[in-house]
Structure 1
Amino acid sequence: MMKRWTTLLLLPLLAACSKAPEAATDPAAQTIEVAIGSGPRLDITTQSATRTTLDEEGTQVKWQTGDQLALWAVNSASQRVIEAATFRLYHYNASYNSASFRGSIPALDEDTYSYYAVSPVPAATDGLQASYDIPAVQDGTFHGEWDVMVAKPVTGEALREHDRKDANGISDNSDIVNLQFVHKIHVLKITLPKNDLGEPITEIELTFPTTVTGRLTVDASNPEADATLSGGSKTLTLRFAEPKDAGDVVYAMIAPVTLDEGQQISILAIGESSESESRTFAPASADRTFAAGHTTPINYNVPGLGRMFTRLNFRLDEAGANTLGEEIDTFTVTAPEGWVFEDGTRSRTFDVTGTGDYLIRFREYPNQTEALGGFQVTFDSENALITQEFTMPAVAVNGLTRINFSVPWLLYEDFSGVTTNSDYDNPAVGGMTIANGDGTAIDLTTWGVKTPGWTAARVGTEAGKAIRICARVENQSFASNTYNARLDSAPFSYLKEGKTPKVKVTFNYKGGRWSVERKLLGGDAGPGNGDAIYSCGYTTEQGWQPGSTAIPFLLRNNVVIPGTSGDDRNQNQNYDNISYEDSFVIPAAGNTTRASWMVSSTTDTAPAWGFNGNYWLYLDNIRVSIAQ
């Protein structure tokens, strides 16, 4: 293996203070905005750059929009008066050999200062120690945010506001601070001249004899000091957004390491359905140091098949935008006792990037291959946490097994599981008895509704179709009675505790009527007047609600239902063609909120010989989602 060495351009180091500087304790001064300068974000081979994009040769690093650095200033009393202030790139010249950064700092007293800088802005600082996280899983491209650099210290006067401003009106202090950076990371440039695996490469796995990723800490005051590494992993995985094949080039970024004589590195290529034979190599003595600021080129001829995987493909057909109302962030698959993933755990969480395939691969499949129930999938979004059970289908060893998921609605009911039932939803018409009352609410799970918590008073269902609630009117000239009917949904229990988003309730509906006005001696005077009307809203009350108990929070009130007036007394008395659609938005719903509907009548027909009427609201396809 060839090693490409690079020497970074360094200016002579200035003398440093003999003791670690302390943070200043003076009250905060006025804030000013200034610009400082930088040289090129040097090559990772011949010059000192800062960060950004890597050229096709894997050697030249250029500044890029969005680059940032952190700046410290230490006064003559060894006090840190600027503490890792963020400066953002806002100009670089066409040849990338100079750049300007702007930032806000406290106004400085007249003094001589030592300025220190690192780029990018670190994940954490402790005094002049700056720490960065180099991930164990990378995507095969050069990332400026992992290209850790330390600038050569600069000694100069106070940064200041003055009349010499640039085109953007910022005081230019590049004559005081003009930084030159040293790279503290090592780059691997991996070329794939040949691919004998038989399929494109989705991952490359490199295993070193020592840790190469983790938290990298540098000394902002000393660009020549070795970085220290803690945590992390010996295994580096390159997982590609698009599969790679012969002729492609990929990059990896690791902490600088030196291997002992004879220590080996293993490399493995992985495709969607298989992995290659593993290859190991021991770098020659001259190549055992993977030095900071250098690139190591590796030509990797991908060998042939090593093994086939047993693959489980969890396909997410719906990520939640069209059902739940917001996309999920993650989903977690949890197995029953006795079933494990390859790492020995019973659960696996996937970060969701949209619909599509989320693949698990087993080198050796340790579980039963027959279909097995008791699995759970949990969908996690900003406002909701939804857990559902599913059955793992029979698994094809060394093959592919597909499991499809769709994020459900916050609540959904199509009444497809109900049986035919009736409770005060169709009392006889034509008599003079005033005797129906509110009716006692029913727990609808006893009739086949899937989700616990649905209740209704004066209600009927038809097997596999829909639900209806029935208002009863019994009027005479000396007494009039209207008994409303009510339906309450299950609570929105998928909402997270403490979350109160807006929620939209959408439903299909229609109305029906059956009424008769009596004459003296029992004659029929017609259907009487009036329509069926419905109201809807929400409640946080749990349990059974009588039909005439008012909905606490009304959002629709006394809406006339089409098809429930006129001279035909017998209208729409079936569960078919429920085609009208309406919706309402609950402004702040919690996990005890329930949607509610009520049906009543506008009739005021009240002859001496009696009037009876049934007024129905049919409901189907009730969908509840988070409103944006």
Structure 2
Amino acid sequence: MMKRWTTLLLLPLLAACSKAPEVATDPAAQTIEVAIGSGPRLDITTQSATRTTLDEEGTQVKWQTGDQLALWAVNSASQRVIEAATFSLYHYNASYNSASFRGSIPALAEDTYSYYAVSPVPAATDGLQASYDIPAVQDGTFHGEWDVMVAKPVTGEALREHDRKDANGISDNSDIVNLQFAHKIHVLKITLPKNDLGEPITEIELTFPTAVTGRLTVDASNPEADATLSGGSKTLTLRFAEPKDAGDVVYAMIAPVTLDEGQQISILAIGESCESESRTFAPASADRTFAAGHTTPINYNVPGLGRMFTRLNFRLDEAGANTLGEEIDSFTVTAPEGWVFEDGTRSRTFDVTGTGDYLIRFREYPNQTAETSGFQVTYDSEHALLTETFTLPAVTPETLNLAAAFRVPYLFEEDFSTVTNFSNGDNNTLANTSSGDNSAHDLSGYGLQEWTGARCGGAAGKAVRICSRNECAALTRGSYHGRIDGPSFGILKGSCPVVVRFDYAISRSSNQGNVLQPYLAVGVTDSGERNASSNRWGSFISGEGNPGTILQYNIPANVYDLNDNGALDGSFDQIRQHGEFQATATANHHLVWEVYMKSGEPREALTYYYSNNWVYIDNIRVSIAQ
């Protein structure tokens, strides 16, 4: 039998005005820095004025370095002249019975003000409404950032600078504002007297008949008003950093809730390889209210084995620094329909602490004896969100299985291993004029999804090439550019610098020998135009064109001068030169290569020539620049 009792947990701390004031429109002339006070510590058998460190009894909390509050001030005209200004813990004495907070505010005119405060600083505000996010997955420890408090309103004169400054030059205004807070959350204190599961506990799962986590909104002007909860979850999971066993105590923080007569709460313990039998209980009539500012102690004797898990160990061999360009913060594994993880979902997110093993446990799976496609892994970093699919090998039920290792990919990578043979105007005759087509052709049918190209070709499983066609006939010269465009960087979250690396090689075929000077331009663009360009000019016209751009659309580019210094022995099988450049890109940008000849090269007036100038491209890798 579980014994339950309720202890008053936290403390009221500020005083009252419930009218919805307007925001002041007159800007303050200057900013001042002041300190305000917090109220005295009260006896823990009644209520406590302290804050974010919970004592062993689960009934007393203390202010802690880093604590903050948000302060409003409303003048006599009902205008908000201070709007959720952040104040940080400045000082507290050794016995925690007083504290002061320091913040910057606009200088206030002489008037009588109503001061309101909440702590901690809310995730969002709307007037005097302050909202906080109480997570559905917690770690079993007390968190001050979820300990929502509303102060009793205080009425007083303007906060001010004065001559009685401390050693740091801060004006103490605790005689005007000295806050007394009321706590708006409920704490569960769960003791584990006994553990019959047969292994330490890694998680505890509690399911309520109504939501107990989500976005909690309080009224900063009224500490007595009930908080409201939206977008919440009925299931609360305590996932421990270190496994728990008999004798341990853990904590959970929930929104206040009152259960109806007969409504039940279920509780389940989870170990590394199994879960316990589920237990349910219906609180007695006197204990159905989980009130704000109170603690509910729960003695949970962990029952015996309920079921064994099928476990998968995923190894993260590369966290992204050497591929993506930055380490990921987390990754999420998503299973296809029919697979259920231990938390009842099809997806599990892991915070990444480096390379190593990450464990996933399944409660249900449709067919463990065959490999299964349709799994996804999503990598999340500061600048990118990448998703890949993978096939899960056949697993052995109710035991530990080693899955394939994960490697965080590049921002973009292409080695053309899946390309098929194709030729799109990249090898025209040398006997007469035959310049091909400027239009960008869709290359998806050749294993290059979202790629386009003009005067380009590919060799199965090897590489692609781009052709610049150059001709001179009847005293007129022409340069017909080759171009190839890749897919967009859709995985980028915003604008950031990227570094592009690729391998290239050159070769030529001409009826007049090696007389031409082509260029390779490569850059990034967010333009939707993908056609190549061409240019025709008279024999005696001087050079035109800007080799610092991709000519037709004036796209800034890095230019490689394909002169005679290197061997012209490039082929689909021999690509030995390396290119690298940096650019700034967004999700809408993509890579583009163009091979061209500047106007005016060569200048032999009477030379007839037809030439194909090829640049071979392979091993493209794009990373976020550090």
TM-score normalised over the length of structure 2: 0.75
Output the CA distance in 2 between the equivalents of 1:127 and 1:545. 56
Instruction: Return closer, same or farther for 1:79/1:204 CA change in 2, 3 Å cut-off.
Output: same
Output the CA distance in 1 between the equivalents of 2:496 and 2:35. 44
Instruction: Return closer, same or farther for 1:67/1:28 CA change in 2, 3 Å cut-off.
Output: farther
Output the CA distance in 1 between the equivalents of 2:345 and 2:287. 42
Shift of 1:330: 7.7
Output the CA distance in 1 between the equivalents of 2:118 and 2:200. 39
* Aligned position for 2:482: 486
What are the within-5 Å matches in structure 2 for residues 204-283 of structure 1? Answer: 204-208=204-208, 211-216=211-216, 220=220, 225=224, 227-231=226-230, 232-256=232-256, 265-281=265-281
Q: Secondary structure at the match of 1:236?
A: strand
* Aligned position for 2:521: 535
8 Å contact kept, 2:12–2:150: no
Output the CA distance in 2 between the equivalents of 1:583 and 1:447. 29
Output the CA distance in 1 between the equivalents of 2:108 and 2:166. 20
What are the within-5 Å matches in structure 2 for residues 147-166 of structure 1? Answer: 147-166=147-166
What do the CA deviations read for 1:506-553 (whole angstroms, capped 9, x no partner)? 211233457787xxxxxxxxx767776533345646555367796432
Instruction: Return closer, same or farther for 1:309/1:504 CA change in 2, 3 Å cut-off.
Output: same
The one of 461, 473, 479 equivalent to 1:464 is: 461
* Aligned position for 1:623: 621
What do the CA deviations read for 1:552-582 (whole angstroms, capped 9, x no partner)? 32523351457546xxxxx525444523211
Instruction: Return closer, same or farther for 1:411/1:307 CA change in 2, 3 Å cut-off.
Output: same
Q: Secondary structure at the match of 2:145?
A: helix
Amino acid at match of 1:511: I
* Aligned position for 2:416: 415
8 Å contact kept, 1:474–1:612: yes
8 Å contact kept, 1:37–1:100: yes
Q: Secondary structure at the match of 1:491?
A: strand
What are the within-5 Å matches in structure 2 for residues 112-127 of structure 1? Answer: 115-123=115-123
Residues 59-68 or 317-326, more deviating: 317-326
What do the CA deviations read for 1:241-296 (whole angstroms, capped 9, x no partner)? 44434554321123445667876543211124321122345667886665544444
Instruction: Return closer, same or farther for 1:609/1:85 CA change in 2, 3 Å cut-off.
Output: closer
Instruction: Return closer, same or farther for 1:484/1:306 CA change in 2, 3 Å cut-off.
Output: same
Q: Secondary structure at the match of 1:618?
A: strand
8 Å contact kept, 1:471–1:482: no
Instruction: Return closer, same or farther for 1:76/1:490 CA change in 2, 3 Å cut-off.
Output: closer
Residues 91-100 or 126-135, more deviating: 126-135
Amino acid at match of 1:236: L
Shift of 1:119: 2.1
Amino acid at match of 1:510: A
* Aligned position for 1:506: 501
Output the CA distance in 2 between the equivalents of 1:217 and 1:605. 77
The one of 555, 577, 582 equivalent to 1:580 is: 577
Instruction: Return closer, same or farther for 1:504/1:482 CA change in 2, 3 Å cut-off.
Output: farther
Output the CA distance in 2 between the equivalents of 1:29 and 1:425. 67
Amino acid at match of 1:415: F
Shift of 1:452: 3.9
Output the CA distance in 2 between the equivalents of 1:605 and 1:195. 90
* Aligned position for 1:435: 432
Amino acid at match of 2:619: N
Amino acid at match of 1:438: S
What do the CA deviations read for 1:137-176 (whole angstroms, capped 9, x no partner)? 2221211122223444545444332211122222211122
Residues 438-447 or 553-562, more deviating: 438-447
Output the CA distance in 2 between the equivalents of 1:211 and 1:23. 31
User: How many pairs are equivalent?
Assistant: 601
* Aligned position for 2:588: 591
The one of 451, 454, 472 equivalent to 1:453 is: 451
Q: Secondary structure at the match of 1:145?
A: helix
Residues 256-265 or 268-277, more deviating: 256-265
8 Å contact kept, 1:421–1:460: yes
Output the CA distance in 1 between the equivalents of 2:57 and 2:345. 44
Residues 249-258 or 542-551, more deviating: 542-551
Q: Secondary structure at the match of 1:505?
A: strand
What do the CA deviations read for 1:572-602 (whole angstroms, capped 9, x no partner)? 2544452321123344566364411316599
* Aligned position for 1:520: none
Instruction: Return closer, same or farther for 1:409/1:218 CA change in 2, 3 Å cut-off.
Output: closer
Q: Secondary structure at the match of 2:488?
A: coil
8 Å contact kept, 1:44–1:183: no
8 Å contact kept, 1:514–1:614: yes
Q: Secondary structure at the match of 1:490?
A: strand
* Aligned position for 2:87: 87
What are the within-5 Å matches in structure 2 for residues 290-369 of structure 1? Answer: 290-311=290-311, 322-324=322-324, 339=338, 348=347, 350=349, 353=352, 361-365=361-365
* Aligned position for 1:545: 532
Output the CA distance in 2 between the equivalents of 1:229 and 1:333. 33
Q: Secondary structure at the match of 2:503?
A: strand
Shift of 1:606: 6.7
Output the CA distance in 2 between the equivalents of 1:480 and 1:564. 29
8 Å contact kept, 2:524–2:589: no
What are the within-5 Å matches in structure 2 for residues 31-180 of structure 1? Answer: 32-39=32-39, 48-73=48-73, 84-105=84-105, 107-108=107-108, 115-123=115-123, 131-180=131-180
8 Å contact kept, 2:340–2:363: no
Amino acid at match of 1:545: A
What do the CA deviations read for 1:89-129 (whole angstroms, capped 9, x no partner)? 22223443322112344555556555443322345667766
Instruction: Return closer, same or farther for 1:248/1:512 CA change in 2, 3 Å cut-off.
Output: farther
Instruction: Return closer, same or farther for 1:216/1:435 CA change in 2, 3 Å cut-off.
Output: closer
Shift of 1:415: 2.3
8 Å contact kept, 2:522–2:591: no
Amino acid at match of 1:597: E
Shift of 1:35: 1.6
Amino acid at match of 1:536: V
Instruction: Return closer, same or farther for 1:310/1:9 CA change in 2, 3 Å cut-off.
Output: closer
What do the CA deviations read for 1:307-343 (whole angstroms, capped 9, x no partner)? 123456676665666545567788777777x756579
8 Å contact kept, 1:41–1:61: no
8 Å contact kept, 1:35–1:172: yes
Instruction: Return closer, same or farther for 1:151/1:470 CA change in 2, 3 Å cut-off.
Output: closer
Amino acid at match of 1:535: A
Amino acid at match of 1:492: S
8 Å contact kept, 2:425–2:454: no
TM-score normalised over the length of structure 1: 0.75
Amino acid at match of 1:252: A
Residues 151-160 or 324-333, more deviating: 324-333
Amino acid at match of 2:490: Y
Instruction: Return closer, same or farther for 1:548/1:535 CA change in 2, 3 Å cut-off.
Output: farther
Matched, 1:5 2:7: yes
* Aligned position for 1:556: 558
Residues 83-92 or 255-264, more deviating: 255-264
Amino acid at match of 1:5: T
8 Å contact kept, 2:9–2:58: no
Structure 1: runs of 5+ lacking an equivalent: 518-526, 566-570
Output the CA distance in 1 between the equivalents of 2:57 and 2:384. 47
Instruction: Return closer, same or farther for 1:192/1:563 CA change in 2, 3 Å cut-off.
Output: farther
Instruction: Return closer, same or farther for 1:610/1:81 CA change in 2, 3 Å cut-off.
Output: closer
